[in-house]
Chains A and B, each alone.
Chain A
Amino acid sequence: MKRIQTKIDPNEIRRRIRGMSVITKSFIVECTSLFEIGRATHFDSAASTGKAVKLVEKTESPPSSLWVEEFELIQRHKSVKAFGRLFTHFAPKIKAFLMKSGTDAAVAEECAQEVMATVWHKAHLFDPTRASAATWIFTIARNKRIDAIRKLKRPEPENLDWGPEHELDQEEAVGLQQETAKLGQALAKLPEKQRMLVERAYFKDMSHSEIAAATGLPLGTIKSRIRLALERLRHSMK
């Protein structure tokens, strides 16, 4: 069955994916204000006991490397060395992600290795003008979590025909990386407690009612504010 609306030019889709951080940034801002209200009510006691809300101390800049070179070396020359660099960076993060999803260390270790093996096999599918290496690896790790750990299936959308063999446009890839980095900084600036909530929504099955319980906000408020933020995000993408 063919795409309907669509026929948005593949390059236009790429461009808009790169522009996404505008919306996601406002989403994060919205989350911040959302959680700040929560803090005013729910976290009051913590404030009065003098416990400062700890800010995330992750100030390290995002990796300047786009990993593009590594992926090319893996794809064209089966370079174990290049793969080793990717592995050193990402395997410990994948393991951390899987453990936060409720997996024990041994299973997380095993699954992280399998995720990285998939990264090797699918290296030719990585497109740095559409997704950062971290985003692309996240989707593989997420699928592993569903498939191997939750024992569920997750149907994937039909592949899009991205047009004729896309010559890598370094500038586009850098643009995507910059947008992603900005979003990352916005996320990193969130107080830890708040960032954890966003994280749990992604890594665990955290419903809005659980977020409500954690922030002390009524469910309706949370739902409408998250929706509002995401709508704004979408509009600013247009």
Chain B
Amino acid sequence: MMTNTIKHHVNDDLMMAYSSGNLPEAFSVAVAAHISMCDECRISMESHNTVGGILLEMQTDIKVGPDALQKTLDKIATSCPVEKVEKPSKIDFPEPLSDYVGESLDTINWQPIGMGVKQSILSTSGEATARLLFIPPGAAMPDHSHSGIEMTLVLKGAFADETEYFAKGDVEIADGATNHTPVAADGSPCICLAVTEAPLKFRKMFHRIIQPLIRI
């Protein structure tokens, strides 16, 4: 089997925010999904957690109530540990993502958004939106107004722009300054998880749809 290596990772801004629990849910899904595939970033996450642990250790104690230990023991007696349900080993998505979209690519509820591109929006709370995107071979990723950080995780296939190539497991992080139009590469569809800070505005999609018609 060809060894595939991840070349584009979660950056430190995002990792620190994820480790400290300050990332909107939609971004957390993508970061957790990437870490599930990438040992490099798992190490980075654990390192960031260590800083959190040290800060906890450095806290000046704030007294807990005299009965706090007893109350905790009572809680222990009346609660039971939540065991994680084991997922079937053959799933199409990293585990944290399958909690949102199910286990199989075949059961995704796609909505067409033009030019053969399809999307499926994840149900997350907070100020960011995560969606699965299906891009047919050679088709462009939907363009949108960049009004914040955008994170794209490749799940299947690959996409490329003029200078860079993103394969399975790779993460692209773009901000408002990024101006490019990646396309699904290698003659196969690209499926990715795209997270945006603000709701996507598919600015140019309309133009792309009518452009071929005008050319006739």
Contacts and interface: CB of A to CB of B under 8 A. Distances in A.
B21 A142 contact: yes
User: Among B4, B76, B84, which residue has the most Cβ atoms of chain A within 10 A?
Assistant: B76
Per DSSP, chain A at the interface is helix
Contact of B94 (A83, A94, A139, A158): A158
Given A1-B94, A4-B169, A5-B40, A183 B50 contact: yes
B28 interface: yes
Per DSSP, chain B at the interface is helix
Interface string B2-30: 00111000011100100111111100110
B174 interface: no
A40 interface: no
A99 B59 CA distance: 11
Interface in A22-57: 23-24
A153 interface: yes
Contact of A93 (B32, B57, B93): B57
Contacts of B205: none
B96 A134 contact: no
Interface string B43-85: 1111101111111111111111100110111011001110010
B39 interface: yes
A201 B12 CA distance: 13
B94 A135 contact: no
A155 B28 contact: yes
A175 interface: no
A206 B42 CA distance: 23
A92 B60 CA distance: 8
Interface string A100-119: 10000100110011101100
Contact of A187 (B12, B28, B58): B58
Contact of B54 (A113, A184, A208): A184
B58 A131 contact: no
Contacts of A202: 16, 19-20, 51-52, 55
Contacts of B131: none
Given A121-B76, A203-B20, A24 B39 contact: no
Interface string A180-223: 10011001100000010011011111101000000000000001
A13 interface: yes
B125 interface: yes
A13 B42 contact: yes
A62 B84 CA distance: 34
10 contacts: A3-B37, A5-B37, A5-B39, A5-B40, A92-B63, A93-B61, A108-B62, A113-B71, A117-B72, A155-B97
